[in-house]
Amino acid sequence: MFIDQVDIYLKAGDGGNGLVAYRREKYVPMGGPAGGDGGNGADIIFEVDEGLRTLMDFRYQRHFKAQRGQNGMSANAHGKNSEPLVLKVPPGTVIKRKDTGETLADLTQHGARAVVAKGGRGGRGNSRFATSRNPAPDFAENGEPGEEFEVIMELKLMADVGLVGFPSVGKSTMLSAVSKAKPKIGNYPFTTIKPNLGVVATSDGRSFVMADLPGLIEGASEGTGLGHQFLRHVERTKVIVHVIDISGTEGRDAVEDYRTIRNEMALYNEKLIQRPEVIVLNKVDLVSDEEVFDRFEKEVGVDSEIYRISAVTHQNLDEMLYRVADLLEETDAVEDIPENTDERVVYRHEKDRDAFEITRDDDGAYVVSGASIERIFKMTDFNRDAAVRRFARQMRTMGIDDALRDRGIEAGDTVRILGGEFEFVE
């Protein structure tokens, strides 16, 4: 089964907790703190495996949780860092955050890797907080939470040549004629509902990968029919072979079909119509009037080369394949088709780490939220008074206390962070 888009949930490993410990060695007076740091949580890494052709592995397992780091140990021993969780994907996989649409990775080459979800840092042990004023701290940090979010995985086929055209124009028949691929063939709309790949070998020793893509209809650029499923795969192809039913047996107008599909590709991505193109007039074995060809060439009026073929009888297939192979060689030498054709450039930057927001719950409690304060909350061990006092100091340093006063908080009012409740004390 060909799967080219899935949503999955990722949870990178949390960092291990730091330890509160003290040295108890003979002949070592006032040994001091000796709690080690926790290990780092595991990252989630995506890696390209050229042997894969589909996202089928992610169809049924959609939750991936990496291991947390090992907790710190006594004698200042550092907890073990967890090994990353590596997920194998086919070439042409694009990974985006579901909530923001931000592109996190665009993987095209075999062996390429991208860290998509970052594991949490290990918490620091109490020996890391020793100072001249507090030589024996009795608190440590919990591990930092790993990143957690949902992503959308899209597969854009890495084919050299893409067959485009309306449904039932003969694309699947043509692919089966020029390669060993065995696509489903039928004379009804949307026979091809998934892309099919075939390796084409010309008689002069050249070869390339050709993709038979799902049929396109008017409105595809807005998602009609198979819409974006079709156009997403066209983005990766270097040469486009535009297949047209010139026989008119389906009651279609060849010129209008050509213009419609070109228009839909331009509406989706203007770069698509700038790709090298070969126009193939298929089913010539069913045409008895030569004026049909002259009319098409006259009304279309394009510079692209036009070939008259029959996928069923194999008429003129070799000549067309030679030209496609030539265009691929010229494209590689003259114009490097960008691997990522998305016009948007995403700049990942650190947001204001100390940004926070204060709201009110229905019961009157003040709710403080924000990435930084929530991270500090999760890394605080509230079973230790010293850690609680440190958390209070961090809130003051971030300006949360003053912001609460500006909102009208009074002594004894409740402050809530991630479900934890505190009493505000002046």
pLDDT tops 50 at residue 151: yes
Region 33-41: mean pLDDT is: 95
Backbone angles phi, psi at 256, to 5 degrees: -65, -40
* Closest-CA residue to 73 (of 122, 116, 129, 125): 125
- Give the three-class secondary structure for 319: helix
For residue 386 the two structure tokens come to: 């010293």
Asked if 272 and 262 count as a contact pair (C-beta separation under 8 A), the reply is no
pLDDT tops 70 at residue 342: no
* Closest-CA residue to 364 (of 421, 426, 425): 421
Whether the model pTM is above 0.75:
no
DSSP state for residue 35 in the 8-state scheme = P
Backbone angles phi, psi at 145, to 5 degrees: -65, 145
Q: Which residue carries 């579901």 as its tokens?
A: 98
Taking only the tens place, the pLDDT of each residue in 76-117 is 999 999 999 999 998 888 899 999 889 899 888 889 999 999
Pairing of strands 63-65, 5-11: parallel
Beta bridge partners of 279: 242, 306
For residue 205 the two structure tokens come to: 């020793």
Taking only the tens place, the pLDDT of each residue in 156-176 is 766 788 888 887 788 888 888
DSSP state for residue 268 in the 8-state scheme = H
pLDDT of residue 194: 57
Please report which confidence band the pLDDT of residue 354 belongs to, taking 50, 70 and 90 as the band edges. Answer: low
pLDDT tops 60 at residue 221: no
Q: Among 11-25, 68-82, 247-261, which is the least confidently predicted range?
A: 247-261
Strand segments (E) across 333-383: 357-360, 366-369
Taking only the tens place, the pLDDT of each residue in 166-202 is 877 888 888 888 886 554 444 444 444 456 777 788 8
